[in-house]
């Protein structure tokens, strides 16, 4: 019998994707945790879906035997719900930015609001399994990484660690995202006529995902330039990353670094030297695809990293973390 897993914020795009993945998961079963802010919608089918529902309360989590809860909610809601669900004995995987940074000060600086549950920073584990797999396994509170940082860190960190990237020469991450990354709340900025046949940059140099990249990659802010941009499509993130190698290196040599790092990883895929992924390659998957182009003569290098922002960038990675905490096969429900 499958374990019940609660999802708060199931009407949002990440939450709905988590429900979809859990519905096909061999060992888990979704329970929709109803919250006052849920917006309606959905097909008016004569035969209603049989997905379980319960209130988003500690009591319901206890009564329904819910082992783990995914919070696909805004940070302020996550800060409110997390202590309640932890108190009810559930593992919490939070998809918001509430617990990604490590201090209330950094949170205030980047999120422009006060943190209301700073006592939880200590036990929150940043759930990027490729780097924190062992901590995730024993965690009670997992902070699921942001979409942009997931694609950036998986591409950048191995190169910094291997010492082949020259940080002082600057690292540029030109990031492009589909519109679902902005959430489901109606807004002029994400309305169809404003987005279609358009392309726009936002939060240049000041995006709140920047500190997550610095934290994990080992870069310093002065060396890292990040731009977020909106592509007229539903889902997907592609990041074009520019840097200099400390010594002349071919694409194949740089790929060798990635191959060593990710040889055993089920969700990182590498491309032949000189080839890079596009968004179709990762659409509706939990993969992060990475490709390298380099010019050894000038040490210029371009790495392209692509994910589905609702997959490896949100709900997929949350299920990957969930599998780890529950002792299930890491890829269950995700291939």
Mention every residue, 6+ apart, whose C-beta is less than 8 A from residue 79.
98, 115, 116, 117
The answer to whether 232 contacts a copy of itself (rule: CB under 8 A) is: yes
CA distance 216 to 98: 17
Answer for which of 167, 283, 286, 321 binds a copy of itself (CB under 8 A) is 283
If DSSP codes are grouped into helix, strand and coil, which group holds residue 81? helix
- Identify which range of 82-90, 118-126, 141-149, 167-175 contacts a copy of itself by CB under 8 A: 167-175
- Identify which range of 27-35, 50-58, 156-164, 175-183 contacts a copy of itself by CB under 8 A: 175-183
CA distance 282 to 280: 6
The answer to whether 191 contacts a copy of itself (rule: CB under 8 A) is: yes
Q: In sequence order, which ranges of 53-183 are alpha helices (DSSP H)?
A: 58-63, 75-87, 104-111, 129-137, 147-161
The answer to whether 264 contacts a copy of itself (rule: CB under 8 A) is: no
Number of residues in the chain: 335
The answer to whether 205 contacts a copy of itself (rule: CB under 8 A) is: yes
Q: Are strands 141-143 and 124-126 parallel, antiparallel or unpaired?
A: parallel
The answer to whether 271 contacts a copy of itself (rule: CB under 8 A) is: yes
* Phi, psi angles (nearest 5°) of residue 174: -95, 105
**Closer residue to a copy of itself, CB minimum distance, 249 or 276:** 276
If DSSP codes are grouped into helix, strand and coil, which group holds residue 134? helix
The answer to whether 272 contacts a copy of itself (rule: CB under 8 A) is: yes
Interface residues for a copy of itself in 208-227 (CB under 8 A)? 221-222, 225, 227
**Closer residue to a copy of itself, CB minimum distance, 1 or 43:** 43
Site map (CB under 8 A) of a copy of itself, residues 115-154, x = contact: ----------------------------------------
If DSSP codes are grouped into helix, strand and coil, which group holds residue 323? helix
**Closer residue to a copy of itself, CB minimum distance, 57 or 227:** 227
**Closer residue to a copy of itself, CB minimum distance, 68 or 173:** 173
Confirm whether 147 is a catalytic residue: yes
If DSSP codes are grouped into helix, strand and coil, which group holds residue 292? strand
Which residues pair with residue 32 across a beta bridge? Answer: 7, 53
The answer to whether 289 contacts a copy of itself (rule: CB under 8 A) is: yes
Give the residue numbers annotated as catalytic, written as ranges.
147
């Amino acid at each position: 019998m499958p374990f019940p897993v609660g999802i708060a914020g199931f009407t949002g795009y990440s939450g709905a994707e988590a429900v979809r993945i859990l519905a096909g998961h061999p060992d888990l079963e979704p329970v929709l945790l109803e919250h006052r802010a849920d917006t309606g919608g959905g097909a008016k089918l004569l035969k209603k879906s049989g997905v379980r529902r319960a209130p988003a309360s500690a009591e319901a989590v206890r009564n329904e035997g819910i082992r783990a809860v995914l919070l696909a909610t805004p940070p302020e809601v996550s800060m409110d719900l997390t202590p309640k669900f932890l108190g009810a004995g559930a593992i919490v995987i939070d998809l918001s930015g509430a617990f990604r940074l490590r201090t209330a000060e950094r949170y205030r600086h980047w999120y422009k609001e006060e943190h209301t549950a700073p006592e939880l920073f200590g036990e929150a584990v940043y759930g990027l399994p490729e780097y924190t797999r062992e901590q995730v396994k024993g965690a009670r509170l997992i902070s699921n990484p942001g979409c942009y940082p997931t694609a950036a860190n998986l591409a950048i960190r191995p190169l910094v660690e291997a010492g082949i990237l020259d940080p002082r020469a600057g690292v540029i991450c030109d990031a492009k995202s589909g519109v679902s990354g902005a959430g489901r709340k109606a807004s002029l900025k994400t309305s169809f006529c404003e987005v279609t046949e358009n392309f726009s940059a936002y939060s240049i140099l000041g995006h709140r995902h920047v500190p997550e990249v610095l934290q994990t990659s080992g870069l310093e802010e002065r060396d890292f330039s990040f731009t977020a941009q909106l592509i007229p499509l539903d889902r997907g993130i592609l990041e074009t990353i520019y840097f200099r190698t400390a010594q002349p290196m071919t694409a194949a040599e740089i790929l060798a670094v990635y191959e060593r790092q990710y040889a055993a990883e089920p969700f990182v895929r590498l491309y032949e030297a000189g080839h890079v992924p596009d968004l179709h390659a990762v659409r509706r998957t939990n993969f992060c695809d990475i490709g390298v182009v380099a010019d050894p003569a000038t040490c210029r290098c371009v790495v392209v990293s692509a994910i589905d922002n609702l997959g490896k960038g949100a709900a997929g990675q949350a299920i990957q973390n969930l599998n780890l905490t529950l002792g299930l096969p890491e890829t269950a429900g995700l291939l």
